[in-house]
Structure 1
Amino acid sequence: MLTALALNCTLNPSPTGSSTQKMIDEVLAALKQHDVVGDTVRVIDHDVRPGVQPDMGGGDEWPGLRSRILESDILVFATPTWVGHPSSIAQRVLERLDAEISETDDEGRPLMFGKVAVAAVVGNEDGAHKIAADLFQALNDTGFTVPAQGSVYWNGEAMSGTDYKDLDDTPEPVAATTATLAANAAHLARLLNEHQYPA
Protein backbone atom coordinates (compact mmCIF):
# COMPACT_ATOMS: atom_id res chain seq x y z
CA MET A 1 0.00 0.00 0.00
CA LEU A 2 1.22 3.49 -0.83
CA THR A 3 1.67 6.16 1.83
CA ALA A 4 1.35 9.94 1.73
CA LEU A 5 2.61 12.60 4.11
CA ALA A 6 0.97 16.02 4.05
CA LEU A 7 2.94 19.00 5.30
CA ASN A 8 0.56 21.70 6.50
CA CYS A 9 2.46 24.99 6.24
CA THR A 10 -0.22 27.12 7.89
CA LEU A 11 0.90 29.91 10.19
CA ASN A 12 -1.69 28.81 12.78
CA PRO A 13 -0.43 26.40 15.45
CA SER A 14 -2.66 23.58 16.68
CA PRO A 15 -5.45 23.43 17.65
CA THR A 16 -6.43 26.57 15.70
CA GLY A 17 -8.67 25.91 12.70
CA SER A 18 -6.90 25.76 9.36
CA SER A 19 -8.24 26.15 5.83
CA THR A 20 -5.04 24.48 4.66
CA GLN A 21 -5.89 21.45 6.82
CA LYS A 22 -9.39 21.27 5.35
CA MET A 23 -7.92 21.04 1.87
CA ILE A 24 -5.35 18.47 3.04
CA ASP A 25 -8.16 16.36 4.49
CA GLU A 26 -9.92 16.42 1.12
CA VAL A 27 -6.73 15.47 -0.76
CA LEU A 28 -5.98 12.61 1.64
CA ALA A 29 -9.57 11.37 1.38
CA ALA A 30 -9.26 11.36 -2.42
CA LEU A 31 -5.94 9.52 -2.21
CA LYS A 32 -7.53 6.93 0.07
CA GLN A 33 -9.84 6.04 -2.82
CA HIS A 34 -6.67 4.83 -4.58
CA ASP A 35 -5.38 2.80 -1.62
CA VAL A 36 -3.04 5.49 -0.36
CA VAL A 37 -2.83 5.87 3.43
CA GLY A 38 -2.09 9.43 4.52
CA ASP A 39 -1.02 11.41 7.55
CA THR A 40 -0.51 15.12 8.29
CA VAL A 41 2.15 17.17 10.04
CA ARG A 42 1.46 20.79 10.99
CA VAL A 43 4.99 22.10 10.57
CA ILE A 44 4.58 25.15 12.83
CA ASP A 45 4.00 22.79 15.77
CA HIS A 46 7.61 21.61 15.40
CA ASP A 47 10.91 23.37 16.02
CA VAL A 48 12.20 23.41 12.46
CA ARG A 49 15.36 25.48 12.51
CA PRO A 50 16.42 27.73 9.62
CA GLY A 51 19.24 26.33 7.51
CA VAL A 52 20.08 24.11 4.58
CA GLN A 53 21.52 21.05 6.31
CA PRO A 54 19.66 17.80 7.10
CA ASP A 55 20.20 18.47 10.83
CA MET A 56 20.85 21.95 12.22
CA GLY A 57 21.36 20.61 15.77
CA GLY A 58 20.26 22.21 19.02
CA GLY A 59 16.87 20.50 19.19
CA ASP A 60 16.09 20.84 15.48
CA GLU A 61 13.02 18.72 14.75
CA TRP A 62 13.49 18.65 10.98
CA PRO A 63 15.36 15.30 11.01
CA GLY A 64 12.24 13.57 12.34
CA LEU A 65 10.05 15.17 9.68
CA ARG A 66 12.64 14.36 7.03
CA SER A 67 12.54 10.69 8.05
CA ARG A 68 8.78 10.67 7.60
CA ILE A 69 9.12 12.20 4.13
CA LEU A 70 11.69 9.56 3.20
CA GLU A 71 9.32 6.81 4.37
CA SER A 72 6.44 8.15 2.25
CA ASP A 73 5.66 7.65 -1.43
CA ILE A 74 3.74 10.91 -1.93
CA LEU A 75 4.36 14.35 -0.43
CA VAL A 76 1.34 16.66 -0.19
CA PHE A 77 2.82 20.14 0.16
CA ALA A 78 0.08 22.46 1.39
CA THR A 79 0.33 26.18 2.08
CA PRO A 80 -1.86 29.23 2.52
CA THR A 81 -1.32 32.30 0.36
CA TRP A 82 0.15 35.33 2.11
CA VAL A 83 0.79 38.53 0.12
CA GLY A 84 0.76 36.46 -3.04
CA HIS A 85 3.39 33.98 -1.84
CA PRO A 86 3.60 30.70 0.07
CA SER A 87 3.81 31.04 3.83
CA SER A 88 7.14 31.59 5.57
CA ILE A 89 6.76 28.08 6.98
CA ALA A 90 6.53 26.69 3.43
CA GLN A 91 9.66 28.61 2.44
CA ARG A 92 11.53 27.19 5.41
CA VAL A 93 10.54 23.65 4.41
CA LEU A 94 11.82 24.26 0.89
CA GLU A 95 15.09 25.56 2.29
CA ARG A 96 15.49 22.48 4.46
CA LEU A 97 14.67 20.20 1.52
CA ASP A 98 17.48 21.88 -0.43
CA ALA A 99 19.93 19.68 1.49
CA GLU A 100 18.48 16.64 -0.29
CA ILE A 101 20.10 17.61 -3.58
CA SER A 102 23.42 16.31 -2.26
CA GLU A 103 22.01 13.36 -0.25
CA THR A 104 22.20 10.25 -2.45
CA ASP A 105 21.51 6.52 -2.30
CA ASP A 106 24.09 3.80 -2.86
CA GLU A 107 23.75 4.21 -6.62
CA GLY A 108 24.20 7.98 -6.61
CA ARG A 109 20.55 9.03 -6.98
CA PRO A 110 19.17 11.84 -4.80
CA LEU A 111 17.14 10.27 -2.00
CA MET A 112 13.90 11.93 -3.14
CA PHE A 113 14.08 10.29 -6.58
CA GLY A 114 11.04 8.07 -7.01
CA LYS A 115 8.84 10.17 -4.73
CA VAL A 116 5.80 12.09 -5.97
CA ALA A 117 4.91 15.62 -4.87
CA VAL A 118 1.60 17.47 -5.20
CA ALA A 119 0.59 20.96 -4.08
CA ALA A 120 -2.48 22.36 -2.32
CA VAL A 121 -2.93 26.12 -1.95
CA VAL A 122 -5.65 28.14 -0.23
CA GLY A 123 -6.18 31.86 0.30
CA ASN A 124 -8.29 34.97 -0.07
CA GLU A 125 -5.99 36.54 -2.63
CA ASP A 126 -4.48 35.74 -6.00
CA GLY A 127 -1.21 33.87 -6.32
CA ALA A 128 -2.06 30.16 -6.31
CA HIS A 129 -0.66 29.45 -9.77
CA LYS A 130 2.59 31.25 -8.98
CA ILE A 131 2.88 29.44 -5.66
CA ALA A 132 2.37 26.02 -7.30
CA ALA A 133 4.99 26.91 -9.91
CA ASP A 134 7.50 27.93 -7.22
CA LEU A 135 6.82 24.81 -5.15
CA PHE A 136 7.11 22.48 -8.11
CA GLN A 137 10.37 24.02 -9.31
CA ALA A 138 11.95 23.61 -5.88
CA LEU A 139 10.56 20.12 -5.31
CA ASN A 140 11.63 18.96 -8.76
CA ASP A 141 15.16 20.28 -8.15
CA THR A 142 15.18 18.27 -4.93
CA GLY A 143 14.26 15.08 -6.79
CA PHE A 144 10.48 14.79 -6.48
CA THR A 145 8.34 13.98 -9.52
CA VAL A 146 5.17 15.99 -10.20
CA PRO A 147 2.17 14.23 -11.77
CA ALA A 148 -0.02 15.72 -14.49
CA GLN A 149 -2.41 18.29 -12.97
CA GLY A 150 -0.74 17.79 -9.61
CA SER A 151 -2.03 20.90 -7.85
CA VAL A 152 -5.33 22.05 -6.40
CA TYR A 153 -6.24 25.47 -5.06
CA TRP A 154 -9.04 27.68 -3.84
CA ASN A 155 -9.01 31.46 -3.95
CA GLY A 156 -11.69 33.30 -2.04
CA GLU A 157 -13.02 36.65 -3.12
CA ALA A 158 -10.38 39.35 -2.65
CA MET A 159 -10.55 41.14 0.71
CA SER A 160 -13.51 39.02 1.83
CA GLY A 161 -13.93 37.47 5.25
CA THR A 162 -14.69 33.94 4.02
CA ASP A 163 -12.03 31.28 4.47
CA TYR A 164 -11.99 27.87 2.85
CA LYS A 165 -12.67 26.21 6.20
CA ASP A 166 -15.86 28.26 6.49
CA LEU A 167 -17.44 26.90 3.30
CA ASP A 168 -20.41 24.60 3.80
CA ASP A 169 -19.55 22.55 0.72
CA THR A 170 -16.44 22.01 -1.38
CA PRO A 171 -16.85 23.80 -4.72
CA GLU A 172 -17.31 21.28 -7.53
CA PRO A 173 -14.25 22.45 -9.55
CA VAL A 174 -12.06 22.02 -6.46
CA ALA A 175 -13.47 18.56 -5.76
CA ALA A 176 -12.96 17.48 -9.38
CA THR A 177 -9.40 18.80 -9.43
CA THR A 178 -8.64 17.05 -6.14
CA ALA A 179 -9.92 13.76 -7.56
CA THR A 180 -7.69 14.10 -10.64
CA LEU A 181 -4.68 15.05 -8.52
CA ALA A 182 -5.18 11.96 -6.33
CA ALA A 183 -5.66 9.54 -9.21
CA ASN A 184 -2.60 10.81 -11.07
CA ALA A 185 -0.40 10.96 -7.96
CA ALA A 186 -1.24 7.39 -6.94
CA HIS A 187 -0.73 6.15 -10.50
CA LEU A 188 2.66 7.82 -10.80
CA ALA A 189 3.80 6.67 -7.35
CA ARG A 190 3.02 3.06 -8.26
CA LEU A 191 4.95 3.35 -11.52
CA LEU A 192 7.97 4.83 -9.76
CA ASN A 193 7.84 2.15 -7.05
CA GLU A 194 8.07 -0.48 -9.77
CA HIS A 195 10.55 1.34 -12.00
CA GLN A 196 12.98 3.63 -10.18
CA TYR A 197 14.93 6.25 -12.10
CA PRO A 198 18.25 5.04 -13.53
CA ALA A 199 21.38 5.49 -11.42
Structure 2
Amino acid sequence: MKAVILLGTLKKDSLSNTETLVDFFVPYLQAKNVKCEVIKSVEYNILPGTYTHMGAGDAWPDIFKKLVEAQIIIFATPIWWGNHSSETQKIIERLDEVHDDILAGKESSLANKAVGIIITGDSDGSQHIIGSIANFVNALGMIIPPYASLTVQAAEHAKDQKTSKEALMEKYKKEYATTAETMASQLVEFGSIK
Protein backbone atom coordinates (compact mmCIF):
# COMPACT_ATOMS: atom_id res chain seq x y z
CA MET A 1 0.00 0.00 0.00
CA LYS A 2 1.24 3.50 -0.82
CA ALA A 3 0.48 6.91 0.68
CA VAL A 4 1.30 10.29 -0.83
CA ILE A 5 1.39 13.25 1.54
CA LEU A 6 0.82 16.59 -0.17
CA LEU A 7 2.70 18.94 2.14
CA GLY A 8 1.41 22.49 1.69
CA THR A 9 3.87 24.35 3.91
CA LEU A 10 5.00 27.76 2.65
CA LYS A 11 8.47 27.28 4.12
CA LYS A 12 11.04 26.01 1.67
CA ASP A 13 14.23 26.21 3.73
CA SER A 14 13.22 26.71 7.37
CA LEU A 15 11.52 24.75 10.13
CA SER A 16 7.89 24.04 9.32
CA ASN A 17 5.39 23.02 11.99
CA THR A 18 3.34 21.18 9.38
CA GLU A 19 6.34 19.27 8.08
CA THR A 20 7.23 18.34 11.66
CA LEU A 21 3.69 17.01 12.26
CA VAL A 22 3.95 15.01 9.02
CA ASP A 23 7.29 13.60 10.22
CA PHE A 24 5.55 12.60 13.45
CA PHE A 25 2.66 10.91 11.62
CA VAL A 26 4.46 9.01 8.84
CA PRO A 27 5.91 6.27 11.12
CA TYR A 28 2.35 5.32 12.15
CA LEU A 29 1.59 4.47 8.52
CA GLN A 30 4.97 2.83 7.97
CA ALA A 31 4.30 0.55 10.96
CA LYS A 32 1.32 -0.75 8.96
CA ASN A 33 3.51 -1.52 5.93
CA VAL A 34 2.48 1.61 4.04
CA LYS A 35 5.13 3.11 1.78
CA CYS A 36 5.01 6.90 2.24
CA GLU A 37 6.14 9.68 -0.06
CA VAL A 38 6.03 13.29 1.09
CA ILE A 39 5.69 15.86 -1.70
CA LYS A 40 6.60 19.31 -0.41
CA SER A 41 4.87 21.33 -3.10
CA VAL A 42 6.84 24.54 -2.51
CA GLU A 43 9.93 22.69 -3.78
CA TYR A 44 8.28 21.85 -7.13
CA ASN A 45 7.43 23.98 -10.15
CA ILE A 46 3.67 23.45 -10.05
CA LEU A 47 2.19 25.87 -12.54
CA PRO A 48 -1.08 27.66 -11.74
CA GLY A 49 -4.16 26.35 -13.52
CA THR A 50 -7.05 23.92 -13.44
CA TYR A 51 -5.87 21.19 -15.79
CA THR A 52 -3.55 18.23 -15.31
CA HIS A 53 -1.22 19.43 -18.09
CA MET A 54 -0.38 23.12 -18.12
CA GLY A 55 2.77 23.26 -20.22
CA ALA A 56 6.51 22.74 -20.35
CA GLY A 57 8.39 22.53 -17.07
CA ASP A 58 5.27 21.76 -15.06
CA ALA A 59 5.89 19.28 -12.23
CA TRP A 60 2.20 18.51 -11.64
CA PRO A 61 1.67 15.70 -14.21
CA ASP A 62 4.31 13.52 -12.52
CA ILE A 63 2.86 14.28 -9.07
CA PHE A 64 -0.64 13.50 -10.30
CA LYS A 65 0.55 10.12 -11.61
CA LYS A 66 1.77 9.30 -8.08
CA LEU A 67 -1.67 10.19 -6.67
CA VAL A 68 -3.36 7.85 -9.14
CA GLU A 69 -1.02 5.02 -8.11
CA ALA A 70 -1.48 5.58 -4.36
CA GLN A 71 -4.24 4.17 -2.17
CA ILE A 72 -3.94 6.93 0.46
CA ILE A 73 -3.66 10.68 -0.12
CA ILE A 74 -3.04 13.10 2.74
CA PHE A 75 -3.41 16.87 2.56
CA ALA A 76 -1.12 18.57 5.09
CA THR A 77 -1.48 22.31 5.54
CA PRO A 78 -0.91 25.13 7.98
CA ILE A 79 -3.75 27.52 8.82
CA TRP A 80 -3.30 31.01 7.42
CA TRP A 81 -6.08 33.49 8.21
CA GLY A 82 -8.60 30.72 8.75
CA ASN A 83 -7.84 28.87 5.51
CA HIS A 84 -5.50 26.25 4.13
CA SER A 85 -2.26 27.46 2.57
CA SER A 86 -1.91 28.84 -0.94
CA GLU A 87 0.22 25.78 -1.78
CA THR A 88 -2.65 23.49 -0.82
CA GLN A 89 -5.09 25.63 -2.81
CA LYS A 90 -2.84 25.34 -5.86
CA ILE A 91 -3.01 21.53 -5.58
CA ILE A 92 -6.80 21.63 -5.25
CA GLU A 93 -7.03 23.79 -8.36
CA ARG A 94 -4.80 21.42 -10.33
CA LEU A 95 -7.10 18.51 -9.39
CA ASP A 96 -10.11 20.29 -10.90
CA GLU A 97 -9.78 18.41 -14.21
CA VAL A 98 -10.71 15.19 -12.38
CA HIS A 99 -14.05 16.83 -11.56
CA ASP A 100 -14.41 17.91 -15.20
CA ASP A 101 -13.99 14.26 -16.23
CA ILE A 102 -16.69 13.17 -13.76
CA LEU A 103 -19.09 15.80 -15.11
CA ALA A 104 -18.36 14.46 -18.61
CA GLY A 105 -19.47 10.98 -17.48
CA LYS A 106 -16.02 9.46 -17.01
CA GLU A 107 -14.93 7.52 -13.93
CA SER A 108 -12.83 9.45 -11.45
CA SER A 109 -9.13 8.56 -11.68
CA LEU A 110 -9.02 9.09 -7.90
CA ALA A 111 -12.12 7.07 -6.98
CA ASN A 112 -12.00 5.37 -3.56
CA LYS A 113 -8.65 6.83 -2.52
CA ALA A 114 -8.61 7.20 1.27
CA VAL A 115 -7.96 10.81 2.27
CA GLY A 116 -6.47 12.14 5.48
CA ILE A 117 -5.99 15.73 6.59
CA ILE A 118 -3.17 17.14 8.74
CA ILE A 119 -3.38 20.73 9.99
CA THR A 120 -1.20 22.96 12.16
CA GLY A 121 -1.89 26.42 13.52
CA ASP A 122 -1.84 28.55 16.61
CA SER A 123 -5.58 29.30 16.67
CA ASP A 124 -8.86 27.74 15.63
CA GLY A 125 -9.88 27.13 12.04
CA SER A 126 -9.28 23.44 11.44
CA GLN A 127 -12.98 22.53 11.22
CA HIS A 128 -13.48 24.95 8.34
CA ILE A 129 -10.45 23.61 6.47
CA ILE A 130 -11.44 19.97 7.04
CA GLY A 131 -14.93 20.76 5.75
CA SER A 132 -13.60 22.52 2.67
CA ILE A 133 -11.12 19.78 1.73
CA ALA A 134 -13.65 17.04 2.56
CA ASN A 135 -16.24 18.61 0.28
CA PHE A 136 -13.73 18.87 -2.54
CA VAL A 137 -12.33 15.33 -2.35
CA ASN A 138 -15.83 13.89 -1.96
CA ALA A 139 -16.74 15.51 -5.27
CA LEU A 140 -13.81 13.64 -6.84
CA GLY A 141 -15.00 10.26 -5.53
CA MET A 142 -12.46 9.94 -2.76
CA ILE A 143 -13.25 8.70 0.76
CA ILE A 144 -12.61 10.46 4.05
CA PRO A 145 -12.77 7.80 6.77
CA PRO A 146 -13.96 8.62 10.28
CA TYR A 147 -11.16 9.87 12.53
CA ALA A 148 -8.87 10.63 9.57
CA SER A 149 -7.68 14.06 10.60
CA LEU A 150 -4.82 15.14 12.81
CA THR A 151 -5.04 18.79 13.83
CA VAL A 152 -2.84 20.59 16.29
CA GLN A 153 -3.52 24.18 17.31
CA ALA A 154 -0.87 25.19 19.82
CA ALA A 155 0.90 28.29 21.09
CA GLU A 156 4.14 26.61 20.00
CA HIS A 157 2.97 27.02 16.37
CA ALA A 158 2.60 30.79 16.52
CA LYS A 159 4.43 32.64 13.75
CA ASP A 160 6.77 34.41 16.19
CA GLN A 161 7.68 31.23 18.08
CA LYS A 162 10.87 29.36 17.30
CA THR A 163 9.92 26.06 18.90
CA SER A 164 12.45 23.37 18.08
CA LYS A 165 11.50 20.30 16.09
CA GLU A 166 12.50 18.15 19.07
CA ALA A 167 10.14 20.03 21.39
CA LEU A 168 7.28 19.75 18.91
CA MET A 169 7.88 16.03 18.40
CA GLU A 170 7.85 15.48 22.17
CA LYS A 171 4.55 17.35 22.45
CA TYR A 172 3.02 15.34 19.59
CA LYS A 173 4.16 12.01 21.06
CA LYS A 174 2.75 12.91 24.45
CA GLU A 175 -0.59 14.38 23.32
CA TYR A 176 -1.40 13.00 19.86
CA ALA A 177 -0.11 9.41 19.65
CA THR A 178 -3.58 7.86 20.02
CA THR A 179 -5.06 10.19 17.40
CA ALA A 180 -2.24 9.38 14.97
CA GLU A 181 -2.60 5.64 15.52
CA THR A 182 -6.35 5.77 14.94
CA MET A 183 -5.95 7.89 11.82
CA ALA A 184 -3.36 5.53 10.34
CA SER A 185 -5.57 2.49 11.03
CA GLN A 186 -8.57 4.13 9.41
CA LEU A 187 -6.62 5.18 6.31
CA VAL A 188 -5.24 1.66 5.84
CA GLU A 189 -8.67 0.09 6.27
CA PHE A 190 -10.42 2.43 3.86
CA GLY A 191 -7.45 2.54 1.49
CA SER A 192 -8.04 -1.17 0.88
CA ILE A 193 -11.42 -0.48 -0.75
CA LYS A 194 -11.31 -1.08 -4.48
**Same topology, TM > 0.5:** yes
Matches of 2:52 and 2:135, distance apart in 1: 20
Q: What TM-score do the two structures reach when normalised by structure 2?
A: 0.89
* 2:63 is the alignment partner of 1:65: yes
Give the distance between the partners of 2:162 and 2:144, measured in 1 at CA: 30
Larger CA deviation: 152-161 vs 36-45? 152-161
Kindly indicate whether the alpha-carbon contact (under 8 Å) linking 2:4 and 2:39 is maintained by their aligned counterparts in 1: yes
User: Does structure 2 conserve the Cα–Cα contact (< 8 Å) formed by 1:154 and 1:164?
Assistant: no
Alignment partner of 2:127 out of 118, 126, 129 = 129
Change over 3 Å in CA distance of 1:173–1:167 after alignment to 2 = closer
Look up the match of 1:120: 118
Question: Which residue in 1 is equivalent to 2:75?
Answer: 77
Gaps of 5+ in 1: none
Q: d(CA) in 1 for partners of 2:114 and 2:152?
A: 22
Partner of 1:4: 3
In the alignment, which residue of structure 2 is the partner of 1:148? 146
SS at match of 1:82: coil
- 1:188: which partner in 2? 190
1:149-188 to 2 correspondence within 5 Å? 149-157=147-155, 161=161, 163=163, 165=165, 166-167=167-168, 169-171=170-172, 172-188=174-190
2:49·2:93 contact (CA, 8 Å) conserved in 1?
yes
2:47 to 49, 55, 59: 49
Other structure's SS at 1:118 match: strand
Question: Structure 2: which amino acid aligns with 1:31?
Answer: L
| Length, aligned pairs only | 188
Question: Is 1:5–1:74's contact at 8 Å kept on the other side of the alignment?
Answer: yes
* Aligned residues: CA RMSD: 2.0
| Structure 2: gaps of 5 or more residues | none
Q: Structure 1 length normalisation: TM-score?
A: 0.87
Match of 2:94 among 69, 93, 96: 96
Deviation at 1:163, TM superposition (A): 4.9
Q: Is the 8 A contact 2:78 2:84 kept in 1?
A: yes
Match for 1:5: what amino acid? V
Preserved CA contact (<8 Å) 1:123 1:163: no
1:102·1:110 contact (CA, 8 Å) conserved in 2?
Answer: no
Q: How many angstroms does 1:162 deviate by? A: 5.5
- Which secondary structure does the structure 2 equivalent of 1:64 belong to? helix
In 2, Cα distance between equivalents of 1:188 and 1:112? 14
SS at match of 1:167: helix
CA distance in 2, matches of 1:109, 1:164: 45
Report if the CA contact (8 A) 2:20-2:169 is conserved: no
Give aligned-pair identity as a percent: 25
